[in-house]
Every structure is written in structure tokens, then in C-alpha cells.
Structure 1
């Protein structure tokens, strides 16, 4: 009888230890290709080795561990997530999906359970994109999706990505060697905290992800005419901030009408004086949906409304797209196996959408992907208050163990 509660306690203790590796003394901040990234890889590699796994680090700085099949030519199944964090982040986002599967290898090794495939666990070096401004660097390296333009990316200190790789002991010109070129990848499974309140609302410890929302992001600049706050009549103003405010409400309304999520999260205003009419306002727009066509239809309507408002208020408009990622549908077969495994744990198999991006989005270019979400306290994530329950981790471990058994059959 496997004691998943004891295993869950081990996972929580290790997440606590991993959460102490930070480049900032006052909060958790661990970014790609830093000394702290190297330290985290070394610590987790030790846990992998203790579980009897073969370990290595690839040319992009991703950490790997393998529970080997007796047949060296067997296909591989991959589990994992990321080891980097956002500044002032939590201890479970990403790390749970690396640390939890390692404990299952202890079980497989202890029971001498053979598998018809290599079971690989990967700790991606970069998912958050907080150092160089572009997300999923680690997982995109596996798909060969490193554009040449990334050689010019720099962090906030001015260090380039090639220089950071060299400082880490790697070489930019060899990054493509991290790409997985064989076709024998059976699938990729990622355990991740939900980062939202749905499972907690449903009073469920885990859930199955149906799809990962595709996102488009824009930078929108509204240019009016700055003027004296006391002398320009209200009917004669070209107020960029007031215009942008009306546009922001239009974004909210269209998103509700089209059943997508859209967010204006950043606003810059100039001259930004207490007694000056706004002359230029720049704001961000992030729009997401699990359905690309539904998202794009909402986007077209938003742009139509924004342009109407700009014309009516006699201001100029500049719109630049800064990011686009298509939605990813999780594999139906893997979803079915996950649901069966969760049901076998005595838990209703609940399906939900991921509004946040994950490494599984990049991995979908290689193989079928699936995700299991774990309930987190109040849906808080990217924050030190991020919290999960040991008993929920035990359920997730039991479900993952059952999933591996089903895959093996």
C-alpha cells in the first residue's frame, strides 16, 4: 500500500527548501541563467539521483531526470514544469510540477515497477520570461523555436542572452542541440497549481485542464492635446486619458458580450500633471480565449469600438501588437486517462480551462499534452501568499501514479 500522505509531506518539505533559493534576500525571485537557477538545478538533480534517475542538463539550461526503461530504444513520456519564478513570487508555481513527480519515481523504483517507456522529468529553466522579457524560453528550446532575434535580447542590467548562457556554462550557438528531434515522444503531462479560484469554489483538490487559452497583447497609444485644466472648455477638449477610460470600459463590455477575458493592466499618462489635460495616454490590452476564432472576433469588435471612440473624440490612435500565442487544446486521450485516474481516487473529475500560459503550450508542438490543476488557496499566485494543502498534494500524487499505470497498459 503506497502512503501518498507521507510522500506529499516530502514534496512539501522539498518545495519549502527549493523556495529558499532566491537572488533577493527578502522575497523569492529566481530567474533564468542566474547562479540561483544553477543552485536550484543542482538541488533538484540531487533529489532525482536519490530516486535512482539518470540526470543531465541540456544546452538551454533545462534539468532532466530519467527513470529508464529496460529497452534503451523505448519511446519516452515527459512530465515536468518550470523552476524559475516571478519576482516576489510563490513557492509552488512551476516547482510543484517538477518536485511531485520525482517522489513517484521513488515509488516505482521501490516496487521495481517496469515501464514500457522512459519516464522523463524536466525542470524548465524559463517559463515566466521575467529576465529577458520573452516567455517559455526553456520549453521552446526543445521544439527548436528559438528565433535568431533572441540573440539580441538583454536583461535589465544590459546582459545579453548569449552572454548569460556563456556565464552559465553554456553556448548560445549550441542551444538548438536541446531540441528533441526524435518522434518517439508519447506525451507531456504537467501538474500545476490552478492560479485561480475555480477548484476551491467547487471544493475539489484537483481538476483536468481542457485547453490553455491563447493570448494576444497590444500597446495602444491615444494622442490628444494637452491643455490647461482651468481654461479649456469641456466640449473643446481632446483629453487622451478620458478617451482611454472610455475605451477601457468598451474593452470590458465587449469581452463580456463575447465570453472572453480581456484586461487593461498598464496605463502611462502624459504630462500626468494635476492641473493639465492629458495629451498622451498609452495602455496595454491582453485578450484571451480557449478558442482562437472567438478571441479574434472579440478583438475585431474591440478595435472597431476603440476607433469609433477615437474618431468621435477627435484624437489620434496608434495600435501595435506585442504578443500572440494560439490556444492549445489538451489531448483528449490523455484527458480521459487523467479523468479515470482521478475518479479512481474517489474524486469527481472536473474539467476547467487554463487562462494562464504554461510550458505545455510550447510542448504541444512536439507531442500530445495534458495538464492537471491543483487547488490553491483563494486562487492566489505570483505572490508570497501562494498556498496549497498537503492533503491535496497526496490526491494529486495518487492520481498521477494511477495515470502512469494506465499509460503503461
Structure 2
């Protein structure tokens, strides 16, 4: 963990961050990538991760926040409230990406959080809580195959079994931490306690077409779908492509039937079921596949419904493989329960949207089928989320697109949500909590 850097003078910035600045900053972050030709890929504990952390830290300092990098490689900043040491409202998102990513998934939320903190700092208003901004390092889970490592460390739900995870080059998570300049032995230092925070707010592109189809800029997230991920292996027997049909034990044919069954079961249960990775062995044009490995990402608003669907998928896969003289095994690689946004934070976000768009009608409430750092933080404190319209609902792709006008509304709405919470926060309760905390130090 790097030392705390004190905030810059309020005179360091001549004007407030605008929506145009935020879009320019998204472009600047997008230039830090391990892929050529303008494509974006930025994974956890990489040189690119270090570069964007440093840049985000500079922007946090300029916004008036004290900054540090925590024990999990998350970049953090803090603006004290009416008194030092008060619990904080945490604002944030992530800076890592998928391969061939867009510029706004994650990064937009971090930059909106910094801009809101700057507005509060420059206003001179003393909030009844601190504001903290966090740029998480590993929401996507691309490098080590499990997601939300940064936010899970902050939430205090880190599992030591993860230290043995390896990337595609055989580098362990433990080794990657050390190479990044972090000490695995003090990962617990990244963890916050419930007493440290009053809640968490995250702004994010929608990653779906609901807002765009409705012609609406902003929405309130109701909950985040629970997700389970599996690595599935089907094995048969590799053989010459001239082998008679009755003698074939074709793992690829069996896997194809299982994948179609997954699609059918997920559709019937109104779940999201995605096979995004498939590898065939020995992978030769004239050889029957003897082994197939594929992934499954299964998501749903109801954990119970999702788990029933997985049980049916398992049963169906076994039946298919028995009929084809194949074997099937599966290992769960990730699991996260559905996370429901807290009612009072949903009200705050909705209030912020109404003020920003000057419309008293209720903004749309949306289920997020995509995962977010908020899922991990829900184990620690209340969560709320603001969705920003993304053209055609495209995300995880270079064609991600948001408008300057929508970003300006999102910035106003996010700030208004924070100020609404400040207005609603019980000052007497805050005084009692502060006195109790002070008495124990």
C-alpha cells in the first residue's frame, strides 16, 4: 500500500470538470492497453493497470481528495466531511476491461465519481459524512478467471485459495501481486468495516438497450442478477474421421447438444445462459474430438431459479453424455448472489435523476443482468446504482458509445443523489456515532 498523498490546493483546478472533460479522460485511459491498433485490453496487476491508477490518482488529487493505492491495487481517494474520521459514502467503479473493450464500461463511473467529489470539494459544503472514490482493479476477472477481486478485498471477503490462481502464462496471483509491488501478506489491510461506510453508489453504462429503446438518458438499478460460472469438460475418444458412426465417441457433437440444451433451459427459465469459451482437442480437421472444454455463465434475478436451472442443466448434460458414451465434469469458477439495491439509495438516485432532467415522473427501474463491483460491496454496506444510456445497448465492444449530453445529466444526477443523502442523513445519529468511534480510539 502506498502512502497517503494529501489533496491538492483547491486552486489547482481553474474550473470544474465537465462532461466533455470526462469523455476526453475516457479516451486518455483507453490509450493504456496491451492490444495494438487502438483496441483496449487492460487487466488486473498489469503495467496498464499501474498506469491508469497513477492517472486516476492525479485526477483525484486535482479534485481535492487525499489519495492512496490500497493493498489490493485499488486506487482510492477521500474527501473528509464535517469532521475528520467520519464514515464515508463510497463512490466508484472499475478501470480494468475485457479484451477489445469499449471506453466507458467502468471508466465512466470512476470519472463521474471523481467529478462529483470535486464539485463537493469546491462548493465548500461540509457533508455529514466523508466522500471516498475508488477505482477497482479487477471487476472483469479476465486475467485470473474469477471476478471482483478488488472489490471483494475491500469488502473483506477475500479468499486465500485465490493466491494459487494462474493466468494464461502460468503466473500466479501471488506472484503477480509481488510483481505489482503489493504484499500478499497484508491483503487484509484493504478491507473496510461496516462502520467505515454509510453506503456505496456506482454509475455505469446500462449494458443493455432498455434506456436507448425508450429514448431515456438515465435509470435506477433495482437489483443485480446473481451469477454462477462453470468450467465444463466433456470427454470421449479421439479417432480418425473415417470411424464408423456406431463406434464414435465424439466429444464435440456431445458438447454441441449440451450447449443447445443450455440455451433452451435458460430461455425457458428467463435466465441469461452464455457459453463464451470453447476449446476442442486435438483440434485437427480429420480427427474426431476426444475432449471439449467450455464455459458457462448463468445469471438470473432469483438465485433459487438460477440454481434450479443449473441442476436441470447438469442432469440433462449427464443424460446426453450417457447416451453418447461420453463423460461430463464441471467445476464452478465463480459464484455471486443476486444483489438488491437498498430502498433509500434507490430513492436517492431517483431523486437525483428527477432533479437533473427536471421531470417529476419516476425514472425507469432496471434489473442489471451484468455484474458490477456493487455485488461484492453489498456484503459490506448498502448499494445503489445509476445507469447511463449506451447506444444500442452495446458494451464490452469498441462500439460502446455515450453522448456528452447524457454524461452531463449523469454528472448532475450523481451529485444530486449525494446531496440528497447528505440532506437526509440524521445529524444527531452522526454525532452519536462519531462520539462512540472517538471513544474507542
TM over 0.5: yes
Contact 2:194/2:380, CA 8 A, preserved across alignment = no
2:275 is the alignment partner of 1:264: yes
* Matching residue of 1:71: 83
CA distance in 1, matches of 2:358, 2:302: 31
The equivalent position to 1:397 in structure 2, one of 411, 414, 429, is 411
Q: 1:15 aligns with which of 21, 26, 31?
A: 26
Does the aligned pair in 2 maintain the 1:219–1:321 contact within 8 Å?
A: yes
Distance in 2, Cα, partners of 1:188 & 1:366: 9
Query: Which stretch shifts more, 218-227 or 69-78?
Result: 218-227
Give the structure 2 partner of residue 176 of structure 1: 188
Contact 1:125 1:138 survives alignment (8 Å)? yes
Q: Distance in 1 between matches of 2:325 and 2:162?
A: 39
In structure 1, the partner of 2:54 is 42
Displacement, 1:228?
Answer: 4.4
Structure 2 CA distance for aligned equivalents of residues 228 and 162 of structure 1? 43
* Partner-residue secondary structure (3-state), 1:183: helix
* Matching of residues 7-406 of structure 1 within 5 Å: 7-26=18-37, 27-181=39-193, 183-230=195-242, 232=244, 234=245, 237-344=248-355, 345-346=357-358, 348-406=362-420
Work out the CA distance in 2 between the residues paired with 1:105 and 1:316: 55
Structure 1: unaligned runs, 5 residues or longer:
none
Partners in 1 of 2:240 and 2:62 — Cα distance? 70
Of 274-283 and 359-368, the range deviating more from structure 2: 274-283
**Which deviations, in whole Å up to 9, do the C-alpha atoms of 1:262-304 show, x marking residues without a partner?**
1222223334444444433333222110110010111122222
Cα 1:62–1:227 shift into 2, 3 Å: closer
Alpha-carbon distance change, 113 to 30 in structure 1, aligned in 2, over 3 angstroms: same
Gap change, CA 1:219 and 1:159, over 3 Å in 2: closer
Of the structure 1 ranges 389-398 and 237-246, higher mean CA displacement relative to structure 2 is found in 237-246
Change (3 A) 1:169 1:226: closer
C-alpha contact 1:5 1:390 (8 A) present in aligned 2: no
Q: Is the 8 A contact 1:74 1:118 kept in 2?
A: yes
**More displaced 10-residue stretch of structure 1: 32-41 or 203-212:** 32-41
* Distance in structure 2 (CA, Å) of the matches to 1:293 and 1:182: 27
Shifted more, 17-26 versus 362-371: the winner is 17-26
Distance 1:218 1:279 in 2: 20
**TM-score, scaled relative to structure 2:** 0.85
Change (3 A) 1:165 1:329: same
Structure 2 CA distance, aligned partners of 1:277 and 1:25?
36
Quote the Cα distance in structure 1 between the aligned partners of 2:328 and 2:104: 41
Q: Distance in 2 between matches of 1:141 and 1:335?
A: 25
Counting matched residue pairs gives 405
- Alpha carbon RMSD of aligned pairs, Å? 2.3
Task: Determine the C-alpha separation between the residues in 2 that align with 1:397 and 1:387.
Answer: 17
Q: Secondary structure at the match of 2:18?
A: helix
Deviations 1:307-342 (Å, cap 9, x if unpaired)?
222233333332333322211111122112212221
**Superposed displacement of residue 30, structure 1:** 2.4
The aligned counterpart of 2:426 is none
**Which runs of 5 or more structure 2 residues have no equivalent in the other structure?**
1-14, 424-441
Asked if the contact 1:268/1:281 (under 8 Å) is kept, the reply is: yes
